Structure 1
Amino acid sequence: MTLGLAAVGAVIVAGGLVWGVGCLAGATFGSGVPEAGLSEMPGVLARLPERLADPGSAWPAPDRARLPGPVGFYGALALAAAAASILSMAGVSLARRAGLEPVPRRQAQGARWARTCDLRGLIVSRPQPGRLTLGRIGAALVATEARASTLVVGPSQSGKTAGLAIPAILEAADRSWPCP
């Protein structure tokens, strides 16, 4: 039922668009607006796929003489698309100037390098128990959140072990084992 209604709606919308472009093509590049009404558009839509080289030939016989050839027909389609695009952009621009947001803006998502303000909660003055020290920003230490898992990914020989694993083990050893 729902699929059938969607199909009928699609035929009505497509028929309206083809009728509008046909009227524009006839008025601007042909010899007048076609007399065919919206009720005749399902037939035009049925014939149109096999007559894309000359869309005017898909229309009823009395209107074919009023419609331009393919260049005029597709020129009218381009004019209609350009006009719709310009009106859409103008509407969005006016809405933004009026303080309205037509579509809620989404925060930019995706990977990026952390900024200093993103790391405020991770900056520590000295190594902390339960937190893995990751490195430094200037003189400040940066550590993971307490008891957080850490995944280190990098190509071979990029310093994962020497730069993170060994220092983390030595730091943990300094806190838990007294030196002899």
Structure 2
Amino acid sequence: MNDGLLRQRRNLILANLVMLLICLANVKIEKFSILGVTFSFVENYKLAYQFLWAIWFYFLYRYFVYFLEDAPPVLKRYWNQELEKVVNPIIKQIVYKEHSRLNDACLYSYVFVKERNWVYNGQKTVSKLNESNGKTEDFTENISMPIKRSSVFLYEVYGAIKFLVLTPVVTDYIFALAFSGVVLVTSLLVTWSGSLVVLLT
């Protein structure tokens, strides 16, 4: 995570905490001071909440812009990494049930199999009679074997759960956005004078 995204993440989390606290405590803002200047919102309290929501949406927008620049390739790499840890051994077991003397240098890769429409491509050693000298010799043979998606689906689900729950990259990148969603939904469900429903009606 680069410094810019880290800074925007911190700002968004702080903005979320402030908005959630104000929402749950049903705070009514009547006065607001900045650099010794006091603003009164007694007659127009909606303006204070509109100002806070504007700041919140600004931090959300800033984080989202940095997120799109930095996060997708990192999240994809960790996603594939977690899925391969879980699914690759299962693919290997499936292939070994049909073939023997396989070349394990050919990867039993979940990513590769998925990219090839669930077909495993590898090699195995076969023994054939050399008719010229009458001896049995070993040859390398290419194999192509379909893998049923259903046979690895549950392992995909397990790998996805591991990615979401046990991978630090999720909390690094996704937590701030998920927290923002919680704040937004909470503000809509709770009876609060600063709710977007109230402010927009």
Q: TM-score, normalised by structure 1?
A: 0.27
Select the structure that is richer in strand.
Answer: 2
Select the structure that is richer in helix.
Answer: 2
Q: Which has the higher contact order (CA 8 A, sep 6+)?
A: 2
Q: TM-score, normalised by structure 2?
A: 0.25
Q: Which entry has the higher C-alpha Rg, 1 or 2?
A: 1
